[in-house]
Amino acid sequence: MTDALWTSDAIAAATGGAASAAFEADGVTFDSREVGPGDLFIALTGEATDGHRFLTQAFERGAAGAVVSEDSGNPQVRVGDTMAALEALAVASRERTAARIIGVTGSVGKTSTKEALFAALDRPDPGSAHRSVKSYNNHTGVPLSLARMPAGSKYGVLEMGMNHAGELAHLTTLVRPHVALVTAIAPAHTAFFPDESAIADAKGEIFAGLEPGGVAIVPFDSPHRDRLIAAARPHASEIVTFGLQAGADVRAIESMRLATGATFVTARLGERELSFTMAQPGMHWVSNALAVLAAVDAVGGDLGMAGLALAEMGGLQGRGARFMAPVGGGEALVIDESYNANPASMRATLAVLGAEDATRKIAVLGEMRELGDASGAYHAALAEPIAAAGVSQLVLVGTEMLHLAEALEGRVQFVHVADAATAGERLAEILAPGDAVLIKGSNGVGLSTLVARLKTPATGNGTASCSM
């Protein structure tokens, strides 16, 4: 019996395709740049590009075989539609595993919660848990993550995202979770929804895919809690709430910030109590941790090990990772939140910056995108959490940040720039040893390039310095 993730025969059986030769694959990807030795390359065809153009590159990088819709002359499984084949592999992968599956969605916190869940479930038995990598949570990322799941996995944690109604309804039928978790509802992609209630309805689609006997996990503190519970009720055998407020099934009865920036938490789950340290700072991370405990408990995981995993978990790149950047004759703390932003996550991370013990608190804030007609008001409303955090200097990036600039006029020192490159230049002019700087904005603003340059500063005359 082979230990391969996929054989050519299994791929052909799942997709209804025809194999040109026998091969075995240990991984799956549709990005030729990610192909490693022994991988299966799926040549997806889209509006912008065609994966068949990159078959030579994929096999030069060591691909074991490919799924194609036209003959390539390489070991392949030929199908009529490669996207349909990817979904077919996802379905077959889901059918062959006995793993307990957790589906995660939400307006904020879903990737961080997914990673924390994976760490909590994998810690007792490394290699037993599988999860989506990066933010592979859309119509291609979800089936790819499923297709990559080893058949012998004990747990699977799959992230699901959306920016239009109806998208989760399809993804959840592929994932078929035993546990469906909504982290939070917040203004995100509001350009595509009339209001937050509509966002809650779209997130609530995840519950329709629950397996018989499934558990729905809902944020108790959300103003949309009852709406989510109503969406879950027809599909879930059990509904569990989590939150900071009294009444939640899983709640924090004590939380205390430690000198290290971590938070000591005592959580109550029914009649049980668990005390642990949450390595990541901020009350939004305490909420994420409570959701993690609820999900681990729902799949029969080890809560004690989950607590240890939360204590050990470092920040994720673009989502709270921290590092010290050389600047002048010393260092400045950089909080990397550059991956994405919406009003709720902006407020949460500004509060984290406000709690830092630093000479000065500086923020580089990129515009928040896809907020529709209310975008101006959402941006202007950031003036209040900026003031509460004690931010002394700001670099605002992008057209929509003009609304915040107007709200801040005369209240705090700031500059407004058009792009990430200029933001880097302005930050280099003001950053000094002892500062703490938060870098956050929608991914399309490109602030991750600024973070990368802070990590690898230029040097001159043998002395490290911040140069952007």
pLDDT of 45 strictly over 70: yes
Is the domain defined by 97-312 classed in CATH 3.40.1190.10?
yes
Q: Tell me whether strands 463-464 and 459-460 are parallel, antiparallel or unpaired.
A: antiparallel
Residues placed in the known binding site for ATP: 106-112
Higher pLDDT residue, 214 or 317?
214
| pLDDT band, very low/low/confident/very high, at 468 (cuts 50, 70, 90) | very low
Cβ 313 vs Cβ 454: under 8 Å = no
SS3 218: strand
Which band of pLDDT confidence, cut at 50, 70 and 90, is reported for residue 317? confident
Q: Which tens digit of pLDDT belongs to each residue from 224-266?
A: 999 999 999 999 999 999 999 999 999 999 999 887 778 899 9
**pLDDT band (50, 70, 90) for residue 8:** very high
Give the pLDDT mean for 57-85: 96
Same fold, 6-81 and 321-464: no
Residue 440 has pLDDT above 50, yes or no: yes
Q: What is the average pLDDT value for the chain, to the nearest integer?
A: 92
pTM above 0.75, yes or no: yes
pLDDT exceeds cutoff 50 at 462 = no
Query: Residues 261-298: pLDDT tens digits?
Result: 788 999 999 999 999 998 888 888 899 999 999 999 99
Percent of the chain clearing pLDDT 90 (strictly above): 77
Q: In CATH, which superfamily holds the domain spanning 321-464? A: Mur ligase, C-terminal domain (3.90.190.20)
- Strand intervals (E) in 271-427: 272-278, 321-327, 330-337, 361-366, 393-397, 413-417
For residue 166, is pLDDT > 80?
A: yes
C-alpha 79/C-alpha 69 separation (Å) is 5
Please state, for a pLDDT cut of 70, what percent of the chain lies above it.
Answer: 96
Give the domain ranges of the chain.
6-81, 97-312, 321-464
In this prediction, residue 275 carries a pLDDT of: 94
Q: Which residues pair with 364 in a beta bridge?
A: 395, 439
pLDDT exceeds cutoff 80 at 56: yes
So what CATH class is 6-81? alpha beta
Binding-site positions read: 106-112
What's the pLDDT score for residue 458?
Answer: 52
pLDDT for residue 190: 61
- pLDDT of 2 higher than 90: no
What pLDDT shows up at residue 216?
98
212-233 as b/e, with b when 16 or more CB fall inside 10 Å?
A: eebbbbbbbbbebbebbbebbe
| Residue 387 pLDDT greater than 50, yes or no | yes
Q: What is the largest CA-CA distance in the chain?
A: 72
pLDDT at 330 over 90: yes
What is the average per-residue pLDDT within 401-411?
A: 93
pLDDT score recorded for residue 465:
34
- pLDDT reported for residue 43: 97
pLDDT band, residue 191 (cuts 50/70/90): low
Q: What is the mean pLDDT of residues 397-420?
A: 94
